[in-house]
Amino acid sequence: MSNCNAKANNAIECSVTECKHHCKDANYCTLNSIKVGTHELNPTMPECTDCQSFMKK
């Protein structure tokens, strides 16, 4: 098992490989929890939401 899989949070799936918290070996986040927000006044679709825990590598 790689170090990343040991830290991967299987409860948070993520495919954003540009994020510092992305598990390199699998599509999971390595954080214990994330913050989700929106950039819209009245979000109506998943595309209106954002992972506010994102950090560029």
pLDDT interval class at 1 (50, 70, 90): very low
What integer best gives the mean pLDDT of the chain? 92
Number of domains in the chain: 1
Residue 46 lies in a domain: yes
Residue 35 counted as domain residue: yes
Q: Is 42 left (phi over 0), alpha (psi -120 to 50) or beta?
A: beta
Q: Which of 14, 17, 25 is nearest to 51 (CA)?
A: 14
pLDDT score for 4: 73
Task: Answer yes or no: is pLDDT of 32 > 90.
Answer: yes
Q: Dihedral (C-alpha) 40, 44, 45, 46: value to the nearest 10 degrees?
A: 60
For tokens 């986040």, what's the residue?
29
Q: Is 57 part of a structural domain of the chain? A: no
Domain that holds residue 28: 3-51
| pLDDT surpassing 60 at residue 2 | no
Q: Is the pLDDT of residue 13 over 60?
A: yes
CB 8 within 8 A of CB 31: no
